[in-house]
Chain A
Amino acid sequence: MTNYVVLNDNEHAKLKIVTERSASYGDGVKYTMTFPFEFRNIQACYPIFFHKDPESGAFYPVALFGFEDNENLFLSESGWDASYVPVMIKRQPFLIGFQQDADDPEAKNAVVSIDLDNPRVNEQEGEPLFLEHGGSSEFLQKATANLELIHQANEHSKKFIEALIEHDLLESFTLNIELNDGSANQLLGFYTINEDTVQQLSGEVLENLNQNGFLQPIFMVLASHSCLRNLIEMKNLRS
């Protein structure tokens, strides 16, 4: 379970964050949410698909790491074997939230929360959050910047999804994977962009998508599919 509290330099002065990547620190996940701004980096390593939020039914893009629950094929003894780690993985154990400004009811201030139950959080090892004599550490400053980026990216991502739905570009698919040992794996509950529908879009629609910054991510998603072969290979090596 998680236990998020608002971070403050008084109570949390001594906290440190382990930055190592391993399943014991919560990195053993099948997929994570990703955002169009990082698709260029994501598609170099991971297949990008879409998944539905179980609470709202809303679509969001994900980077796929494995085929079974809690399977992350990129994790090994030496950490995370990929040139790029998605921002939603790197954000752990923080969350960004917003509080109403006491003086200005219109304004909202970003506040950083920390999950005190996250195994990365401790007082012995890792990166300190605060400097010895007060003030945020460089690590925390970077983490905060990362969270703000995620917040902005999330708004853009929602509009991206709306555009995909508006133009009927999403389709559900089921992936049946047969491994070298003959065992079968099935990937259910994911969606992708229909390449044929993209190719039939009119010039006007394409222009509009491009102006909103949606065209490039569409092609990044399509390009990312070639990473699936790599992922299957990794799965074959493990089994």
Chain B
Amino acid sequence: MYRPIKKVVIVGGGSAGWLTAGVLASHFQSAERGGLEVVLIESPDVATIGVGEGTWPSMRTTLQKMGVSESDFIRECDASFKQGSRFDNWVTGDNDHYYHPFSLPQGFGDLNLVKYWQTVRDKISFTDAVTQQGQICDHGLAAKQITTPEYAFNVNYGYHLDAGKFAKFLQKHCVEKLGVAHILDHVTSINSRPNEDIESINSKHNGAIAGDLFVDCTGFASLLIGEHYKIPFNNLDNILYNDSALAAQVPYVNEDDPIASHTLSTAQSAGWVWNIGLPSRRGIGHVYSSKYISREGAERELRDYLEPIIGRRDAEELSVRSISFKPGHRQQFWHKNCVAIGLSAGFVEPLEASALVLVEYSAKMIAQQMPENREMMELTSKRFNDKFSQHWQQIIDFLKLHYLLNQRNDGGFWQDNRNKESVPQSLQESLTLWRNQAPWLDDAPHFDDLFSSASFQYVLYGMGFVSHLSQLTLRDEEAGLAAANGLFNENVKKTNQFLASLPKNRDLLNKIKTVGLKKL
């Protein structure tokens, strides 16, 4: 007999566990009779790690589908609008900066603007030529207005959030609204079937908890996929050198200090400092490579970064939490009837906030491809592993691109990052092509790639890369030039409109706290 899939057991809370629970329980109506049974067991005394406090725009859809009110989410998770990332000192280290915004370049689906921008690249940055979002961020403006409905945008956005509050918020929603069963208990051991499937997990006080599919959201502990199944780990520290982080929570000096609507990432001698503005505080941390700088040295650089923000005394006294990690991911994510989501599956530095989006994509794929029975699961798991290997490869390539193009001369970290041996073959091939053609729609190998070719454009041309484009004359050359000029002009017009009409990020967040956003 085929074993139907009726019950999913998620091991581990935190944002990975609760996001997965929420996606599955709302998709399969766990609160209704006949819905999928979703159980989440988490240990009462394992502290969750707040991985990255930044999300992608995809989080809007993820939350909306779960039936979460955006106003509640913003209020309860100390959330703010994130419109992209700004990279300071990544190119030469001499006060350079560029943006990777969430908005696509103007007319991206119809025309590749790189060619036309390159003729004026000395006068205007790529971002400012093709999108409004860099300037909107520079002015500290929000991505929407109070009249814009929940989850809708004037310019594309994701969130900055307090990961601890987020997990609690999702927990409440999952348990109260979506019918997820929550068990607070310790996992003591695992019972296997003869085919090596997990039959149940033993818990200290609640006995054996059986299920058809087990989701490993146990963080770095990786209890099921790592400790139990011993799925090998792909270590990536030969490509992405960062393996340590120092994190601090930094108060605003004045209650009404502006809240940046982008993640600010500032290069240091052997890593970079993130600066994420939430309504009630900033999250600032230094992610670095322990091979190139000592913990003390990294802490010094972090405190030096903090000094102009909060003053010398506070910068010296602020408490700093230390985290170390192995950059990499499991060789497989779904093995037998167990799938790993979140840190248990893998982790790399939060340079492009890829942690939560991988959780969302994993949960979504499981929801959409949920196998009817255990026998079909063999095929589903194979496809899942192929898909997420592909996603990881793209993340690695994209992150490495940020380092590869640097022109800094201050120390081994930046120079070694340019070593060809440290660059994945796939990225080397792409780069070879990009020297003569600008990435665009057909450059993307898969329709569901995490990073669109627009993201590659922003980083390449933000970092000063030059594509020596084909000199062949195109049939519609003139029409293309006219269309490009039209789009550049439209961008100027839209930029002025948005700068005049969008509220300050903090003002809008304050207003949402009092009156909320409307659903329509």
Q: Is the CB of A172 within 8 A of B520?
A: yes
Please, how many residues of chain B have a CB less than 8 angstroms from a CB on the other chain? 11
> How many angstroms from the CA of A124 to the CA of B515 in the assembled complex?
45
Within 8 A of B (CB), among A162-216: 165, 170-172, 189, 191
A189 to chain B, nearest CB (A): 8
- A52 near B: Cβ within 8 Å? yes
Interface residue B133 (Cβ < 8 Å from any Cβ of A): no
| Distance A172 CA – B515 CA, assembled complex (angstroms) | 20
Complex contact A59–B146 (CB within 8 A): no
Chain A hits for B145, CB < 8 A: 54, 57
Q: Considering the chains assembled together, what is the distance between the CA atoms of A58 and B516 in angstroms?
A: 9
Contact among B516, B518, B519 for A52, CB-based, below 8 A = B518
Inter-chain contact B520/A57, CB cutoff 8 Å: no
B432 within 8 A of A: no
- Evaluate contact between B515 and A171: CB separation under 8 angstroms: no
Give Cα distance in the complex from A54 to B146, angstroms.
7
Chain B residue numbers with a CB within 8 Å of A52 are 147, 518
Which residues of chain A are within 8 angstroms of B149 by Cβ–Cβ distance?
172
A-B contacts, 18 of them at CB < 8 A, read: A52-B147, A52-B518, A53-B147, A56-B146, A56-B515, A57-B145, A57-B146, A57-B147, A57-B511, A57-B515, A57-B516, A57-B517, A57-B518, A58-B515, A165-B518, A165-B519, A171-B520, A189-B147
User: Which residues of chain B (255-285) have a CB below 8 Å from chain A?
Assistant: none
Question: Which of A54, A55, A59, A189 is in CB contact (< 8 Å) with B518?
Answer: A59
CB-contacts of A54-93 with B (<8 A): 54-59
Considering the chains assembled together, what is the distance between the CA atoms of A53 and B515 in angstroms? 12
Whole-angstrom CA separation of A56 from B146 in the bound complex: 6
A54 to B518, CA, bound (A): 12
Chain B positions within 8 Å of A165 at CB level? 518-519
Q: Which 5 A-B pairs have the closest CB atoms?
A: A57-B146, A52-B147, A57-B147, A56-B515, A172-B520
Residues of B within 8 A of A171 (CB): 520
A198 CB, min distance to chain B CBs, angstroms? 16
- Closest approach, in angstroms, between the C-beta of A204 and any C-beta of chain B? 23
In the complex, residue of chain B having the shortest beta-carbon distance to the beta carbon of A57: B146
Find chain A residues with CB under 8 A from B517 CB. Answer: 57
Contact A56 B520 (CB under 8 A): no
Q: Beyond A57-B146, A165-B518: 18 further Cβ-contacts under 8 Å? A: A52-B147, A52-B518, A54-B146, A54-B147, A55-B146, A56-B146, A56-B511, A56-B515, A57-B147, A57-B511, A57-B518, A58-B515, A59-B518, A165-B519, A170-B520, A171-B520, A172-B520, A189-B147
CA distance A191 to B147 in the complex (A): 12
Q: Within 8 Å CB of B515, what residues of A?
A: 56-58
Give per-residue flags for B101-134: 1 if the beta carbon is below 8 A from chain A beta carbons, else 0: 0000000000000000000000000000000000
Tell me the complex Cα distance, A171–B145, Å: 18
Question: What's the nearest-Cβ distance from chain B to residue A77, in Å?
Answer: 36
For A51, give the chain B residue with the smallest CB separation: B147
The minimal Cβ–Cβ distance linking B99 to chain A, given in whole angstroms, is 28
Which residues of B (464-520) have their CB < 8 Å from a CB of A? Answer: 511, 515-520
Q: Which residues of the partner chain A approach B520 to less than 8 Å between Cβ atoms?
A: 170-172, 191
Q: How far is the CA of A165 from the CA of B516 in the complex (A)?
A: 13
Minimum CB–CB distance for B246 against chain A, Å: 40
Residue of B nearest to A58 (CB): B515
CB distance from B146 to the nearest CB of A (A): 4
Instruction: Tell me how far the C-beta of A113 lies from the nearest C-beta in chain B, rounded to whole angstroms.
Output: 25
CB distance from A138 to the nearest CB of B (A): 40
What's the Cα separation between A165 and B518 when bound, in Å? 9
Could you say which residues of chain A place their CB within 8 Å of the CB of B511?
56-57
Cβ-closest chain B residue relative to A172: B520
Residues 125 to 160 of chain B near chain A (Cβ within 8 Å): 145-147, 149
Bound: A170/B149 CA distance, A: 13
